[in-house]
């Protein structure tokens, strides 16, 4: 976390008594000015973050359907969720997608970052691999549905050229999630690689030189030096990637819309279809709350497991 911690440390120098007097004079009227300056942000926070969060929790205990009033129905939505086969399927699909995509992004970007770090400091290469991060999931989805099209896609042309039968990437239930994960990896690889690369740059070169003098191989140095020293950054990257993958929605909307046969009906997609397909806002809110709790637990467990604020060097 060396990269991020630096600015956390205030650079204010200790002040002497004489200076403090002039400071307190300079700060007369600060309180009123401060509340004035934070007023817009505070308003946005209260109206568009706090209020909707509380309202979302409230709605999840009601049968709200946009038209008409919200009636309190207690925990009925949650009971319904427990018995909802489609919900459990969505949860399974989401977890499967997160494992594939987050796993793929993390492993591949770690490999890429390490190789990049050991071979070159070129900003050009780093700039090029970041390009997919700049386009929307929609554009990414449009490109890849075309490239993975069962009839005309270049991916299938290549498979055929090497003698592998064509794959119905987005229309075969078995392939739809792996295909989505592949697009996610393509789009997220560069961003994550750069985060890890910055972390690697913070490791002192001397550590590697000492390792080499002791006759360590590249792989030994990776295991004994890189991974332990990178762990705080790695832990942060793992949480960010998992949380991001849990929130997949737009990519699914532009490629499969949840199909075929609910095989890509991830939680956000299910919430959306409940809320805006069937106007079942109460139930949709209950599932949102469930998703939020899942993400909260993951973050918490992950932070405990990785002791995010510590490094092995401490």
Residues 210-249 touching other proteins, rule: CB under 8 A, are: 218, 233, 236-237, 240, 243, 246-247, 249
For other proteins, the closer of residues 171 and 253 by Cβ is 253
List the one residue from 104, 188, 190, 232 that touches other proteins (CB under 8 A): 190
Q: CB–CB of 171/150 below 8 Å?
A: yes
d(CA 105, CA 304): 22
List the one residue from 92, 118, 223, 224 that touches other proteins (CB under 8 A): 118
- Match 């440390």 to its residue by tokens: 9
List the one residue from 72, 86, 107, 127 that touches other proteins (CB under 8 A): 127
Contact flags string 155-184 toward other proteins, x per CB under 8 A: --xx--x-----------------------
Environment class of residue 230 by beta-carbon count within 10 Å: exposed (0-12), middle (13-18) or buried (19+)? buried
246 closest CA partner among 275, 268, 226, 216: 268
List the one residue from 203, 268, 270, 308 that touches other proteins (CB under 8 A): 268
d(CA 14, CA 258): 59
List the one residue from 99, 198, 207, 225 that touches other proteins (CB under 8 A): 198
Residues 6+ apart with CB under 8 A from 311: 1, 2, 228, 229, 231, 232
Q: Should residue 30 be labelled a site residue for other proteins when binding is judged by CB under 8 A?
A: yes
Q: Residues in contact with other proteins, total (CB under 8 A)?
A: 109
Q: Should residue 139 be labelled a site residue for other proteins when binding is judged by CB under 8 A?
A: yes
Could you tell me the smallest distance in angstroms from the CB atom of residue 141 to other proteins? 8
List the one residue from 44, 75, 228, 277 that touches other proteins (CB under 8 A): 44
Q: Should residue 206 be labelled a site residue for other proteins when binding is judged by CB under 8 A?
A: no
Angular region, 48: left φ>0, alpha ψ -120 to 50, beta rest: alpha
Mark the segment that binds other proteins (CB under 8 A) among 47-55, 74-82, 258-266, 303-311: 47-55
Token readout for 121 is: 């400091």
Could you tell me the smallest distance in angstroms from the CB atom of residue 82 to other proteins? 20
List the one residue from 130, 159, 207, 298 that touches other proteins (CB under 8 A): 130
Could you tell me the smallest distance in angstroms from the CB atom of residue 72 to other proteins? 16
Could you tell me the smallest distance in angstroms from the CB atom of residue 249 to other proteins? 6
d(CA 97, CA 103): 9
Query: What DSSP designation does 62 have?
Result: B
d(CA 96, CA 90): 10
Token readout for 270 is: 């299910």
d(CA 302, CA 192): 18
Contact flags string 65-104 toward other proteins, x per CB under 8 A: -x--------------------------------------
Strand partners, 62: 72
């Amino acid at each position: 976390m060396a990269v991020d911690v630096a600015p956390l440390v205030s650079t204010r120098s200790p002040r002497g008594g004489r200076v403090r007097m002039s400071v307190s004079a300079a700060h007369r009227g600060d309180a009123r000015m401060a509340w004035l300056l934070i007023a817009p942000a505070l308003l946005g926070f209260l109206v568009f973050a706090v209020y909707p969060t509380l309202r979302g929790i409230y709605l999840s205990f009601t049968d709200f359907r946009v038209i008409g009033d919200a009636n309190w129905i207690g925990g009925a939505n949650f009971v319904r969720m427990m018995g909802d086969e489609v919900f459990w399927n969505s949860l399974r699909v989401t977890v499967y997608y997160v494992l594939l995509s987050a796993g793929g992004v993390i492993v591949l970007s770690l490999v890429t970052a390490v190789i990049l770090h050991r071979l070159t400091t070129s900003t050009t290469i780093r700039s090029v691999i970041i390009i997919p991060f700049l386009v929307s999931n929609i554009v990414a989805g449009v490109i890849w549905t075309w490239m993975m099209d069962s009839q005309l896609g270049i991916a299938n042309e290549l498979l055929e050229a090497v003698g592998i039968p064509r794959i119905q990437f987005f229309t075969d239930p078995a392939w739809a999630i792996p295909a989505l994960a592949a697009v996610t990896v393509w789009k997220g690889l560069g961003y994550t690689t750069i985060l890890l690369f910055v972390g690697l740059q913070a490791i002192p070169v001397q550590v590697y030189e000492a390792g080499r003098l002791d006759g360590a191989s590249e792989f030994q140095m990776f295991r004994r030096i890189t991974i332990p020293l990178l762990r705080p950054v790695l832990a942060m990257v793992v949480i960010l990637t998992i949380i991001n993958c849990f929130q997949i929605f737009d990519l699914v909307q532009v490629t499969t819309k949840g199909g075929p046969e609910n095989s890509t009906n991830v939680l956000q997609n299910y919430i959306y279809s409940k809320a805006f397909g069937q106007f079942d806002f109460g139930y949709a809110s209950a599932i949102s709350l469930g998703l939020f709790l899942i993400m909260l637990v993951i973050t918490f467990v992950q932070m405990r497991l990785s002791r995010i604020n510590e490094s092995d060097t401490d």
